[in-house]
Amino acid sequence: EIVLTQSPGTLSLSPGERATLSCRASQSVSGNYLAWYQQKPGQAPRLLIYGASSRATGIPDRFSGSGSGTDFTLTISRLEPEDFAIYYCQQYGPPRGTFGQGTKVEI
Amino acid sequence: EVQLVESGGGLVQPGRSLRLSCAASGFIFNDYTMYWVRQAPGKGLEWVSGIRGDSSDTAYADSVKGRFTISRDNAKNSLFLQMNSLRPEDTALYYCVRASRVAIRLFDYWGQGSLVTVSS
């Protein structure tokens, strides 16, 4: 099973700043089957990025994903107040998907 | 609009059973693989179980295998999770989740969750 490790655990930033979140896999993620989800307090997760770099429907272009193999990055170019949340990466290749432990982006 | 509405959660004693339901609308239900994903209080996300659109294949996390059973009723646009022999570590918010057409383990729509608490 692929283990995903996210860093940092918490990122303290201000609105307007750039956020860079990391997700490292214990082995290569096949097909770059790597997704990012956002979860706000009291809400269900929302799909942001899939295929390492493709934005899901309706996701603003300040969110971007990059990386391949074992190292992936989610970048939020300019933080908006509504972006403060927990972000999870997920590898969705076979045989089963696994999640990272999450990175909290806080003010 | 895609909607997934879970029900059936509650407080249950260890060793007892509970059945979760998910009512789906806004899409052709039998075209999609569906999942249950859970989140323990203050913790991360854990994939629990999945089922193909035609129920031809199911899968379970090792932590629930042999105790939980996933099923669906395509005529009623409903997904179920039968949970037996519940343990305190099964306490979590259980989300009903739709798999994307892009990839069967990519989750594109989530319900709001049903809380299961296992405690004596």
A63-68 β-sheet, strand order: A4-7, A19-25, A71-76, A63-68
pLDDT of residue B88: 97
For residue B102, pLDDT over 90 is answered with: no
For residue B104, pLDDT over 90 is answered with: no
pLDDT of residue A94: 80
pLDDT of residue A107: 84
Which residues, listed in sequence order, are joined to residue B9 by a DSSP beta bridge?
none
Contact A57, A49 (CB under 8 A): no
Tell me how far apart the alpha carbons of residues B64 and B69 are, in angstroms, rounded to a whole number. 9
Tell me how far apart the alpha carbons of residues B61 and A96 are, in angstroms, rounded to a whole number. 9
pLDDT of residue A30: 87
Using the Cβ of B2 and the Cβ atoms of chain A, whether some distance falls under 8 Å is answered with no
Tell me how far apart the alpha carbons of residues A13 and A4 are, in angstroms, rounded to a whole number. 24
Which pLDDT tens digits describe chain A residue by residue (107 residues)? 899 999 999 999 999 999 999 999 999 998 899 999 999 999 999 999 999 999 999 999 999 999 999 999 999 999 999 999 999 999 998 877 899 999 999 98
pLDDT of residue A83: 96
Mutate: best of B107, B109, B112, partner A, most A CBs <10 A: B107
Residues of chain A found within 8 Å of residue B3, distances taken between Cβ atoms: none
Tell me how far apart the alpha carbons of residues B38 and A65 are, in angstroms, rounded to a whole number. 25
